[in-house]
A and B are shown apart, each in its own frame.
Chain A
Amino acid sequence: EDQVTQSPEALRLQEGESSSLNCSYTVSGLRGLFWYRQDPGKGPEFLFTLYSAGEEKEKERLKATLTKKESFLHITAPKPEDSATYLCAVQALGQAGTALIFGKGTTLSVSS
């Protein structure tokens, strides 16, 4: 069964304290891995798509990496405005349509 597990469930950081969020996945064949940011009461905001092991993408203080079993979202010198829930999702090969399978998310709180 295709599955996505994110850890930790919640993460509290001080402003400037870098850290990483983990997304472990099991899927029959990976078509793509997606990272989204979700603020309370809002829809997910697209951050990155990764397609193959070894791939890395960066956007401001965020950097996403991918291996054959997991992905990391590295946050460098976070600011309070980075506080949000970060969702990881995978898209499997061979699925009818292009449905995403989501993890439960990591809720990040950054205090000044």
Chain B
Amino acid sequence: GAVVSQHPSRVICKSGTSVKIECRSLDFQATTMFWYRQFPKQSLMLMATSNEGSKATYEQGVEKDKFLINHASLTLSTLTVTSAHPEDSSFYICSARVAVNSYNEQFFGPGTRLTVL
């Protein structure tokens, strides 16, 4: 099946620093990747949609200058949380759309737990 990996799985950083999270599709090419955020006992909230080679589309209320997304290749998208603050602590999950499937099934990565001190 389609496998999506994320790195790192956990990161702890100081307030004001930047953190980069990688999302890779391991056995397929993903023209579109998505970044979600999930708070404890809450549902997944879409942050942005990332298309290979173009600028990401951000959801309302998500600061594009704070959450930088780069989708440089068909197998890699990165999310950089700039000048992180404690309120950015959350579980960040990426997903990738299977390019050959016209019904757009999405497969998720294992998530990255970000803790900002």
Contacts and interface: CB of A to CB of B under 8 A. Distances in A.
Q: Are A and B co-members of a single complex?
A: yes
Nearest to A36: B108
Given A43-B93, A44-B93, A99 B105 contact: no
A5 B8 CA distance: 32
Contacts of B106: 34, 46, 98, 100
A103 B42 CA distance: 9
B110 A43 contact: yes
Interface string B24-43: 00000000101000000111
Interface of A: 31-32, 34, 36, 41-46, 49, 51, 87, 89, 91, 96-105
Contact of B32 (A87, A97, A102): A97
B29 to A, nearest CB: 15
A87 B44 contact: yes
A32 to B, nearest CB: 6
Contacts of B46: 99-101
B99 to A, nearest CB: 11
Nearest to B104: A98
A45 B103 contact: no
Nearest to A103: B43
Given A91-B104, A97-B32, A104-B42, A41 B57 contact: no
B105 A49 contact: yes
A53 to B, nearest CB: 16
Contacts of A51: 103
Contacts of A102: 43-45
Given A41-B113, A46-B105, A103-B43, A98 B97 contact: yes
17 contacts: A36-B108, A41-B91, A43-B6, A43-B109, A43-B110, A44-B108, A46-B1, A46-B105, A49-B105, A51-B103, A91-B104, A97-B51, A98-B49, A98-B97, A99-B49, A100-B106, A104-B42
